[in-house]
């Protein structure tokens, strides 16, 4: 379990909570393995120069959370900073279709993170869940359907990573698999809109 007196570890988990909420919104994307279906509902992220932003197609704006954007023509809007964008400015665009974890040698989908305890709610495939001895949850609407869901502490998850897919006809220069945590070590975090060094990804 994450020691919540350790502010650095707490921030690492909380940043991922905020990021997953921003990516997935109110759609619980982790409930399905249909990557293309999930991508239809998840946030669009774009790269312009050496910065990455959320992209609202409907509003025609890019948005970030880095406060320095306020001095770059971005307008504060809630917790974000927005500015209009032309499609021709966008160097690359993608959707996050799922966020996964490596747990005891198995891959699972990340469903939720508990901000108070630091526990992760993960969904395993049927065969993997059975091998781990996890008691399945039966779907009340269809007794033939069951889910292998369990809560695990952050310390037992070695890797956390997202899978990205291209968006529309924009270029896609991002790696398809991007880690937030690898081999037990959290990857340096960058606020949306932060100037990135070559080879860095959020």
Report the 3 state secondary structure along the chain.
CCCCCCHHHHHHHHHHHHHHHHHHCCCCHHHCCCHHHHHCCCCEEEEECCEEEEEECCCCEEEECCHHHHHCCCEEECCEEEEECCHHHCCEEEEEEEEEEEECCEEEEEEEECCCCCEEEEEECHHHHHHCCCCCEECCCCCCCEEEEEEEEHHHEEEEEEEEEECCCCCCCCCCEEEEEECCEECCCCCCCCCCCCCCCC
Average pLDDT over residues 106-127: 84
pLDDT value of position 136? 80
Whether the model pTM is above 0.85:
no
pLDDT value of position 77? 92
pLDDT value of position 60? 93
Summarised one tens digit per residue, pLDDT across range 12-55 is 555 666 676 666 553 343 344 455 544 455 789 999 999 999 99
Summarised one tens digit per residue, pLDDT across range 128-186 is 888 888 888 766 665 666 778 899 998 899 999 999 999 999 999 989 999 989 999 88
């Amino acid at each position: 379990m994450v020691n919540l007196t350790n502010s650095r570890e707490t921030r690492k988990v909380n940043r991922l909570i905020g990021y997953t909420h921003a990516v997935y919104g109110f759609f619980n994307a982790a409930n399905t393995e249909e990557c293309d279906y999930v991508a239809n509902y998840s946030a669009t992220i774009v790269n312009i120069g050496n910065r990455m932003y959320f992209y609202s197609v409907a509003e025609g704006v890019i948005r970030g959370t880095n406060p320095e954007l306020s001095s770059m023509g971005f307008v504060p809007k809630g917790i974000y900073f927005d500015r209009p964008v032309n499609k021709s400015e966008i160097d690359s665009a993608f959707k996050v279709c799922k966020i996964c974890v490596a747990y005891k040698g198995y891959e699972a989908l990340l469903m939720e993170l508990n901000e108070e305890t630091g526990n992760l709610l993960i969904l395993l495939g049927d065969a993997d869940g059975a091998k781990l001895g996890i008691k399945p949850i039966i779907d009340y609407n269809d007794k033939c359907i069951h889910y292998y869901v369990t809560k695990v502490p952050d310390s037992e998850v070695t890797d956390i990573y997202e899978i990205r897919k291209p968006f529309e006809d924009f270029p896609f220069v991002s790696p398809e698999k991007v880690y937030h945590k690898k081999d037990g070590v959290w990857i340096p975090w960058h606020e949306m809109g932060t100037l990135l060094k070559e080879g860095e990804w959020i």
